[in-house]
Amino acid sequence: MDPSRPLLGRGPFLPSSAHAVAAIVIIAFLILTLLRLPLSLSISIYTPPPPLADQQHQSQDQEQEESSSCDLSSPLDCADPRLFHLMMRSTIDAFPAVHFARFGRPVPGDPPSTSCDMAWRARSNSSASTASPTATTKDYRRFAIARDPRTCAYSVVSIGDYHSGPNARKPRPGATNATAAPPPPPLSRSQFAAAAYLSYHGGGDRCKPMPHYMRSLLCALAEARYLNRTLVLDLTLCLAASYTAAGMPEEGKRLAFYVDVDHLRSSVAGIVEERQFWEDWDKWGAQGQLGLRLIEDTRVAPTKFSKAKDTLVVRKFGDVEPGNYWYRVCEGEAERVLSPPHDAIRLAPSLMSIVDAIVSSMQPDFDSIQADVNAQDLRQKIEECVGSGRQVYLAGEGANIVLVEALKANYNNLHYLDEFQAFWRKDSKWFLEMKRLNGGVPVEFDGYMRELVNREVFQKGNKMVRVLR
């Protein structure tokens, strides 16, 4: 091709310098056009992250805003399903040897800002293998609940002792005070000074047989009720040697092992545990800030000081028996105004659960015999009662166990207490509950417990026969 000829259809060639200038202009235009759009978009979308310290500050501000809605002093919402399920799971984990039949809905405890009460029906592994595997017992507990100050999340701090949640207890038919209040929290000085107290100090009632102790306790309750004063009471006792396996008196037994203390509290103006009272008195009354009246003669009737304004009345008993027994207060002139409140003494719920389990294991309609006789008379009386084919419960420690076992070979409808040992052995609900009540220390099913259970089951018999010497 001839280089001097023009290109077909393109016109004449531009000089090389013109080509270069045109190319630069076009490229610059394109670059400016392309750069202008992305830059404006990137500025509107992208924001660099704040420093780490700013992030933490914002997070804390958000948590503080969330926590401001969590009022820890407000009552717990015990009806919250999340709290209900948490309480159920905590209970099942705490009592692995117990089969739970059903749970009641939680209700506010005391104080309502940190506790809920919940009831349930259950049976232990031991009762599941007895003649009445479907029999259940009822319990109601107080749950201490904590709330996270930031998130308000619930957690169960502790589960109270047996029957510690009375607000969840359904009233018995006709009962006027079936849900006795639990022990009050520690009082302030003004609250303590506004109350009136009665204290029995010393005396010869320690380690005596339980009928003696109960007689003296009823007298103290009667005087506290008459004076409308809170009774200062040692809630531990010394069990007499006749009730212990070692044949020696045993200190440190708790009154709640044998008696329904909640019901006891509701039967008088109130009961305060002795140790707690004297700690409060040392703070507020020991320096003469509060009035105290000391009475050292049991013959001084309560009518003589019923109008006393003193915060504390102390009856001090001497060392000479029998004049230093508490029940002496209710004799003489005081007898016409003091009436022992026998209705205040009820069997402890833990023992009552054993009674119910024994009764459930027999026919609903059974007869009972209380025996304290020689072998021949006992054999004759048992044969008279058992021969009818009815279920018979033999109560009393006077029965010869060898004789009873021989009779059971012929009469399979004869029952006695040791036949039901599964209800208080080491894997039973009773044993686990008593261990918790006693601060983790196992409790023996002692002679007085046997006596109480025997007596209660005997009284539930349709026909009650006493065979005495």
Residue pLDDT, tens place only, 7-62 = 333 334 344 455 555 666 566 666 655 555 443 333 333 344 444 444 444 555 55
pLDDT at 121: 85
Q: Are residues 253 and 118 located together in one domain of the fold?
A: no
Residue type, 212: H
Domain stop point among 293, 326, 344: 344
Q: Model-level pTM? A: 0.60
- Please, is 87 exposed, middle or buried when counting C-beta atoms within 10 Å of its C-beta (0-12, 13-18, 19+)? buried
Mean pLDDT score, 342-357: 92
Is residue 447, in this structure, part of any structural domain at all? yes
SS3 348: coil
Q: Residue 164: phi, psi to the nearest 5?
A: -90, -5
Question: Do 160 and 271 fall within a single domain?
Answer: no
Quote the strand ranges of 165-301, DSSP E.
197-202, 230-233, 236-239, 250-254, 271-273, 292-295
Residue 36: inside a domain: no
pLDDT above 90: percentage of residues in the chain? 40
- Shortest CA distance to 278 belongs to which of 312, 315, 318, 329? 312
Q: Are residues 316 and 393 in the same domain?
A: no
Residue with tokens 């006596």: 451
Res 379: pLDDT: 74
Of 319, 344, 369, the domain-final residue: 344
Q: Which domain holds residue 320?
A: 189-344
pLDDT band at 69 (very low <50, low <70, confident <90, very high): low
Helix axes 349-361, 447-459, angle to 10 degrees: 50
pLDDT at 116: 95
Residues 388 and 402 in one domain: yes
- Is 337 found in the same domain as 223? yes
Give the confidence band of 333 by pLDDT, cuts at 50, 70, 90: very high
Same-domain check for residues 320 and 371: no
Helix or strand (DSSP H, E) at 123:
strand 115-124
Number of domains in the chain: 3
- pLDDT digit string (tens) for 249-284? 999 899 999 999 988 988 887 899 999 999 899 888
| pLDDT(66) > 80 | no
d(CA 286, CA 292): 9
Q: What is the mean pLDDT of residues 349-367?
A: 86
In the structure, what pLDDT confidence band is assigned to residue 64 with cuts at 50, 70 and 90?
Answer: very low
Tell me which range, 139-143, 148-152, 221-225, is most confidently predicted by mean pLDDT. 221-225
Whether residue 150 sits in one domain with residue 251: no
Residue 327 and residue 219 in contact, taking contact as beta carbons nearer than 8 Å: yes
Helix (H, G, I), strand (E, B) or coil at 288: coil
Q: What is the mean pLDDT of residues 322-343?
A: 94
Residue 330 forms part of a structural domain = yes
- The string over 394-431, giving b where at least 16 C-beta atoms fall within 10 Å of a residue's C-beta and e elsewhere, is bbbeebeeeebeebbeebebbbbbeebebbbeeebbbb
* pLDDT score of 9: 36
Q: Are residues 282 and 376 in the same domain?
A: no
Between residues 87 and 378, the one the model is more confident about: 87
230 touches 271 (CB < 8 A): yes
Instruction: Give the single-character DSSP code of 250.
Output: E
Q: Which of 329, 344, 359 is the last residue of a domain?
A: 344
In contact, 355 and 347? CB cutoff 8 Å: yes
- Sorting pLDDT into bands at 50, 70 and 90, what band is 190? confident
Domain match, 243 and 142 both: no
Q: What is the CATH number of the domain that holds 440?
A: 3.40.50
- In the predicted model, is pLDDT for residue 237 greater than 90? yes
Mean pLDDT score across all residues of the chain: 79
When computed from its CA atoms, the radius of gyration of the chain, rounded to whole angstroms, is 40
Q: Which of 243, 73, 60 is nearest to 147 (CA)?
A: 73
Sequence length of the chain is 469
* Residue 371 structure tokens: 């025996």
Q: Are residue 195 and residue 121 in the same domain, yes or no?
A: no
Looking at residue 359, its amino acid is V
Q: Residue 292 carries which side chain, given as an amino acid letter?
A: L
Instruction: 154-157: list long-range contacts, CB under 8 Å, 24+ apart.
Output: 154/80, 154/82, 154/83, 154/86, 155/86, 156/86, 156/87, 156/90
406 has a pLDDT exceeding 80: no
